[in-house]
Amino acid sequence: MYHAVRIHEVGGPEVLRWETVSVPDPGPTEVRLRQTAVGVNYIDTYHRSGLYPVPSFPAVLGVEGAGVVECVGSDVTTVKPGDRVAYAGVLGGYAEVRILPADRLVTLPPWLEDSQAAAVMLQGMTAEFLLHRTYRVTAADTILVQAAAGGVGLLLCQWASRLGATVIGTVSTAAKAELAYAHGCHHVIRYTEEDFVERVRSLTTGAGVSVVYDGVGQTTFQGSLACLRPRGLMVSFGQASGSIPPFDIATLSAKGSLYLTRPSLFTYIAKREDLVASAALLFDAIQDGTLAIQVGQHFPLADAASAHRALAARSTVGATLLVP
If asked whether residues 146 and 187 sit together in one domain, one would say yes
Q: How far apart are the first and last CA of the chain?
A: 14
What average pLDDT does this structure show over 101-109?
A: 97
Residue 204 lies in a domain: yes
- Answer yes or no: do 219 and 284 share one domain: no
pLDDT in tens, 81-99: 999 999 999 999 999 999 9
CATH number at residue 290: 3.90.180.10
Question: What pLDDT, in 10s, does the model give residues 276-299?
Answer: 999 999 999 999 999 988 788 999
37: left (phi over 0), alpha (psi -120 to 50) or beta: beta
With beta carbons less than 8 A apart as the criterion, state whether 68 and 36 touch.
Answer: yes
Q: What is the CATH number of the domain that holds 239?
A: 3.40.50.720
Q: 238, 262, 286: which is the final residue of a domain?
A: 262
Query: For residue 128, is it within any domain?
Result: no
The pTM score is: 0.90
CA within 13 Å, CB half, 302: 5
| pLDDT tens digits, one per residue of 42-78 | 889 999 999 899 999 999 999 999 999 999 999 999 9
User: Which domain covers residue 277, as residue numbers?
Assistant: 2-121+272-323
Contact yes or no for 230/254 (Cβ under 8 A)? no
User: Nearest-CA neighbor of 84 among 154, 157, 20, 33?
Assistant: 33
Residue ending a domain, choose from 232, 262, 292: 262
99 and 37 assigned to the same domain: yes
Instruction: Please report how the helices 272-287 and 114-129 are oriented relative to each other, as an axis angle in degrees rounded to 10.
Output: 110
Residues 257, 277, single domain; the answer is no
Angle between helix axes 42-49 and 304-312 (nearest 10 degrees) is 100
The verdict on residue 129 lying in a domain is: no
Phi/psi for 234 (5° steps) reads -95, 115
